[in-house]
Amino acid sequence: MTNSARVLEVATLVAGYAAEAPIVRGVSLVADRGEIVAILGPNGAGKSTLIKAIAGLMPRCDGRVALRGEDIGALPAHERVRHGMAFVPQTENVFASLSVTDNLKIAADLLPAARRASRIAAVCELFPDLGRQRQLLAGRLSGGQRQMLAVARALIALPSLLLLDEPSAGLSPKAVAELFRALVDIRGSGVSVVIVEQNVRAALAIADRLVVLVEGRTRLEGMSAALGGDPAIAALYLGGARAPAVRP
């Protein structure tokens, strides 16, 4: 892809609660239109800190965050949403006491009134389980369905960039497969997806680009087709087994 398709550019980002002891130490990454970028790494590598810093939810000490060529590093999180960024945290990402429909309506408030119903219908088409259970309280959904509702809420306002922090955590293998199939569909619509994930096999199966962090620094970075069989990834995360081929 050309640079005209570049949606996210993170350059030498330093982030953490204390500038003198940052968690993320000079990480750079890019995401082009319609790409899935997987951020991998062992526990404590700084993955969640990195994605939260991109979203504006973690202090940035240095470096640049640009969305579609515009430097947004100084913007608060809610302003980044208005610029086309959506973030789905690992937990507490839906309103459990509200119905599926009401969760989606709250997200749709960012849109003009005339577009809200069509966007709710569109995300329910992407996640049919939600469409069938619109009146159910979100707290009564399965873990996988709650995660799908969180992603659906993030997509309501038509973001150009979707950030997800450990979306498969605690889900059954079936729920993980359904969620990741939906992420492939989301990529196909032109949305860029950056995902922090501990399920390395699942992430490798859908990612276009990989970033591997170790101790807050980039250990490996590049296209999945080139890195998917890298023995370093296999040794770190797959017990020495060769990484699976990335499916289109």
The reported pLDDT for the residue numbered 222 is 87
Let me know: does 151 contact 100? Beta carbons within 8 Å.
no
- Show the 3-state SS of the chain: CCHHHEEEEEEEEEECCCCCCCCEEEEEEEEECCCEEEEECCCCCCHHHHHHHHHCCCCEEEEEEEECCEECCCCCHHHHHHCCEEEECCCCCCCCCCEHHHHHHHHHCCCCHHHHHHHHHHHHHHCHHHHHCCCCEHHHCCHHHHHHHHHHHHHCCCCCEEEEECCCCCCCHHHHHHHHHHHHHHHHCCCEEEEECCCHHHHHHHCCEEEEEECCEEEEEEEHHHHCCCHHHHHHHCCCCCCCCCCC
pTM comes to 0.90
Contact 123, 88 (CB under 8 A): no
- Per-position pLDDT tens, the chain of length 248: 445 699 999 999 999 998 889 999 999 999 999 999 999 998 899 999 999 999 999 999 999 999 999 999 999 999 999 999 999 998 889 999 999 999 999 999 989 999 999 999 999 999 998 999 999 999 999 999 999 999 999 999 999 999 999 999 999 999 999 999 999 999 999 999 999 998 888 998 999 999 999 999 999 888 887 776 677 666 665 444 444 444 44
C-alpha 53/C-alpha 63 separation (Å) is: 11
Is 136 exposed, middle or buried, given 0-12, 13-18 or 19+ CB atoms closer than 10 A?
A: middle
Q: CA 240: distance to chain centroid?
A: 27
Distance CA 108, CA 205 (A): 31
User: What is the token pair recorded at 13?
Assistant: 């980002």
pLDDT for 236: 62
Output the pLDDT for position 226: 74
* Separation of alpha carbons 7 and 37, rounded Å: 12
Q: Answer for the pair 11, 67: CB distance below 8 angstroms, yes or no.
A: no
The domain 3-89+153-237 having CATH identifier 3.30.950.10: the answer here is no
